[in-house]
Structure formats: structure tokens, C-alpha cells
Chains A and B, each alone.
Chain A
């Protein structure tokens, strides 16, 4: 392979890198060695070969042909400017979430990184120049009151972070067998090791067990007008928590209650949101928390709640039903569930006292009452969820 071709090819990998691909000198070398063996490769073959060698996920796979044509034939996509490109390659997340020790910070960073990749890929009008600004503010974003986010970019970022945060929480709860004093099966590996000093006579038995799914979650989400600024982030958060690894269920309430877990399981976020807004349509005004809880207790509680379930209510407590009715329903709910967590975004406000009458009644039944006005406060939930 001639030197000029090598330079061109590293130019191409740099071009891909600017568009969020994880490729470096090692890949350039690999590509060159593959191409060197070819005498007269045709363009379609080379494009397909490079696509397989260089793309790493579905988005990249889908974009590759355009990027290839843009670089080698100068058509289609515009090249990104260097400033944007720099923002695009920073903050990549090379590790699975499980290795991130400092959860909120890392999460924020990686979510930022991804967001910028997609901006770089899209080269839309709003992708211009904002990358650096957002990146430098990502720390601040996790502590900002969500209600003060005004630009669409910030809102989209926050949604993404909320979802990834929830996923990270979910992954902590793995089910690999672990040693346990009173486990149900004998851990022969450890038993033998332990008893080697006694000539292998298994005197002292070691046991192991498969951890139970630590918690089941049921989330009841207030979607009334007063909660509107927060609910979109809560929905992203709930969406991240729901998945096949954790028993989780979710309901949305306003004047009545709807089951939304299936809609949230939709893999494509856009489709999920569209289905959700269809379901939430046609609700009247006012929030009837007690009525919604009654529906839940009558219809769903039996199948969804048990003594391993944590119920999370996300609401500001402004209720048009009577506080007495709410007390009755909360008592019923509490009897079936293990813990009741109430997240109230207003609690994050300065000088807030739970004066809404419903809220002061609810406090008698709630095990954990927490603010949920910022992403950091959502991250703080992890400990509460893991505890039984």
C-alpha cells in the first residue's frame, strides 16, 4: 500500500471519529492490511468491508454509507467543523455502567457524550456550536431544578440522563450466585477448598444461594398540570427502571389511572412517548389522587404488590379528593406493599412545608419522603430502592 493511501485512510478514520465512531490507529492499520491484499477492489465491496470493520453499533451501521460517500466522493453530509468535532469525541464512555463508581457524575458525562455523537451524526441546525457549552455545564445540570430547564437541548439531555441513571440503578441488582451462610445449595468449590486441610473430608460445609430479586417496584406517576414540568423526566426515569431484569410496573394518574408499563417497554423512546401521550389524552382537569389509588387498590394491587414491593408515588400532593379518602387508600396500599416512597418535587424548593392537606395526611403512611426536583436527587434514590 502506498504512503498516500495510508494518509487518506487515516483521514477517513479521523472523519469517522468526528462522527462518534470508536476507531483509532489500530483500526486504520487493520483496514490498510485488509485492503493491501486486494488487487482491484470495487467501491461497493470496499464500502461493505469497511462498514463491517469500522462500525460498532446500529446507528453507526446505518450512517456509514453516507459518511463513506461524503468523505471519498464529497457528496451528501457536510463535514463537521473542528470545534464540534472536539466536543464529539470527548466524554466517551468506554466502560459498562457497573464500573462507574461515582454514579451521577459519570452518568452525566457519558450521557452527554452520546448526545453529542448523535448531534454530530445528524448535523442538524441545532447541533452547531452548543456541544462545548453543554459539556462544561453537565455537572451543574444534574443539580439544577428540572423546572428551570428551558432550552429543548437541556430538556433532552436531562431526559437521557434520567433514563440512564435508572438503568444504572437497575444493574446493581444482579442475580449471580454468591456465598451465603444459610444458602440453599452447597458450594462444593469452596467446601473442598476449605476442607483440604482435613484431607478433603467435608466437615465444614460452605453454602451459596442465588440472590432474590431485591425489590419489585411499582411506580405511580402524577401527570396533572401542576406536575407537568417534572413528569417528562420522571417518565424517562421510570422507563429506565422498567426492564426485564427487574420486576417493575408503572401507572400514570391524573383524574383516573392508566397502566403504562407496556407502553414504556417499547424499545424506541419516540414510539413509547407517542403511545403514552395517546393514553394520557382525554383526561379532565384536576388531580384525584385518592380516586386513582382506589382504582389501583381495587384492580391492580392484588397482582402487582407483595411484601417485596416498593411503591413509589411521584406527586406534588395537590389533590381535589378529600384527605380522608386518601388516608383510607394509603392505608390499604401500605398493608399490601413493603415500603411506600413518596417523591415530591416541591420538597426541593426552599422553605417548603408539606402544607397541601393531602400531603400532611400522606406523611403518616409514607416510609420515605424525598425531593425529586433534580437529577441528583433521583440518583440518591438508589440506596432506598436496594434496601428492603
Chain B
């Protein structure tokens, strides 16, 4: 256990994920302590990417559970393979197998379908378990997730308790659309991910788009930084910055003050709602470009 997060930060940078000190520290502690990490932040700041980058750095599997409203145990922990069970019942009936033997047989692990949470604790080496957008799931789901996160074991009534082969590295992400319970928060380490500073975002753009012209990269990042200060419904995230940069490269624009028409048209990469597009008309865009160039 160490607080020295610099090596991990470097490893993450090597696989193309630029983490600031706070996040690198959080991941370092998460790995060291074997505790889940809850990452909150606006959409598009790179929360989901953490899981992918971490799996790459650690050289393990990434198991992802996307949360949604109405998510339940059948979709997250395990389910019996009913079709196969029915076939097996039929087949064994013909062998005149006694019914309790059939029952034992069809409720064996062979017929168990593993869903992400069960899959994660059955891996021989610790995988990265990414539980994405936990705030979208119901509170009931939160409750049984708590049980799994504290004991890392799952009880299947027909089979008994299945203990973890290895403790997964758990990353939970949340957009903060609803308050999570204090109980869940207490089980987790916490980190808040903000939109990146200008310098960091520039490093990200250059890491993701190695071919980009230095001047264009600076302009793009500066423009997005200014745009984030405008009153928008949906503030553009890093993914949007990268999309826009790619679009500008594709349009063969070397400098954003050269071709205002094309730049204006390409703003759809950054502004994702009609209201936002209306809030940044030609004049506002021109003002921002003026500040950038």
C-alpha cells in the first residue's frame, strides 16, 4: 500500500488516458485497499474511459454493467438457462431418471448463466468491474449491490453461496441525477471529476489525435474552454472536443478563424440540443473565435 500515484499516472498516460493527481491518487488507493471507487462528474468528462484504461494498464478483463431503470437481479447477477433446463428435463425423463436427481442436475452450474456481477467475482485474476451510471438504477438495485460490494459473495438459493475467486477492481460512475445512499457512499472511495483545465485538455487532445497540428489543437481547446463558460443546457465534454477536432481535421481546416462558415456548421459536434445551437449563433461564435485566434 502506497500513496505514490505517479507510476500509475504514467502508465495511464501510456495507454492514452490523462488522469490528474486526484484521480490517479484515487485509483492508486482503490487498487491498494481493494475498495470500490465512486467517480462522480458531468457527462463527458471521461468517467467510463477510466475503466477501460485501467483494465489496459492492469492487463485484465473489463466487465461492464450499464445501469438502467428497472435493472434487476436477473440481469445483473445470474439467471438459469431455462430453455436448456426444459430440454434436459425431457431428455432425462426418457432415461427414467428420478425427479429429484433431475432437479439436482438442472440446478447445477452447467445451467447457470453468469451476468456481469457474478462473472466479475468468478474471474481467476482480478478484473475491472465498471458499474456505469449507477444513478440510473433503482434504489433496490443499490441495496443488493451493497451486499455484493461488502462481502464479494453471491447466494444462489439452488446452489449455495459463491465466494469470490478474486476481488475485482470496482469503479462506479454517477452523473449525479439522483442522490445515492450514504450507505453506498461509505463503502466507496470518492472522487469528483471536473471538466479538464486547458493545459490538461490540450494534452488529452494531443494524446488522442497525434496527427493534429499544434496550433489547431490549441485553438480547439481554447474555444471549447470558452464555450463551457456560456450558459448551455449540455456543456460539451472531452468526447465532444475530440469529435470536433476530428471534424475540423476532416474538413481540412488549419485554423478556425479562416473559414467561419464551415466552423459554424461543424459546431454541431459540440452543441447537442436545438436550444444550445440557438444560443450560439454566428455572432457569438465569431466573438469566441476572435478571443481564440
Contact = CB atoms under 8 A, between A and B. Distances in A.
Contacts of B138: 171, 174-176
Contacts of B69: 174-175, 245
Nearest to B21: A48
A34 B33 contact: yes
23 contacts: A22-B182, A34-B32, A45-B5, A46-B3, A49-B3, A52-B26, A56-B185, A57-B40, A58-B40, A61-B190, A61-B191, A92-B182, A95-B182, A175-B138, A176-B72, A188-B82, A189-B79, A199-B99, A200-B85, A243-B177, A244-B177, A245-B69, A267-B177
Interface in A186-242: 188-189, 191-192, 196, 199-202, 210
Interface of A: 22, 30, 33-35, 37-38, 41, 45-46, 48-49, 51-53, 55-58, 60-62, 92-98, 167, 171, 174-177, 188-189, 191-192, 196, 199-202, 210, 243-245, 267
Interface string B203-216: 00000000000000
Nearest to A188: B82
Interface of B: 1-5, 21-22, 25-26, 29, 32-33, 40, 69-72, 74, 79-80, 82, 85-86, 89-90, 93, 99, 102-103, 106, 138-140, 142-143, 176-178, 181-183, 185-186, 188-192
Contacts of B90: 200
A333 B69 CA distance: 31
Contact of A52 (B29, B80, B176, B182): B29
Nearest to B184: A96
Nearest to A177: B72
B140 A52 contact: no
A51 B186 contact: no
Given A33-B1, A199-B93, A52 B191 contact: yes
A192 B185 contact: no
A49 B25 contact: yes
Contact of A56 (B106, B139, B142, B190): B190
A37 B1 contact: yes
Given A95-B183, A267-B176, 17 more contacts: A34-B1, A37-B1, A45-B4, A46-B3, A52-B22, A52-B26, A52-B29, A52-B190, A96-B139, A96-B181, A98-B139, A171-B138, A174-B70, A174-B138, A176-B140, A189-B74, A200-B89
Contacts of B3: 34-35, 37-38, 41, 45-46, 49
A202 B86 contact: yes
A189 B80 contact: yes
A242 to B, nearest CB: 12
B255 to A, nearest CB: 35
Given A34-B29, A45-B3, A175-B70, A199 B102 contact: yes
B183 A94 contact: yes
A245 B3 CA distance: 41
A53 to B, nearest CB: 6
B89 A210 contact: no
A104 B35 CA distance: 35
Most buried by B among A49, A55, A167: A49
Contact of B102 (A51, A93, A200): A200
A56 to B, nearest CB: 4
Nearest to A186: B82
A61 B190 CA distance: 8
A95 B181 contact: yes
B275 to A, nearest CB: 8
A368 to B, nearest CB: 28
Contacts of B177: 243-244, 267
Contacts of A93: 182
Nearest to A213: B69
Nearest to B275: A262
A271 to B, nearest CB: 9
Nearest to A23: B186
B142 to A, nearest CB: 6
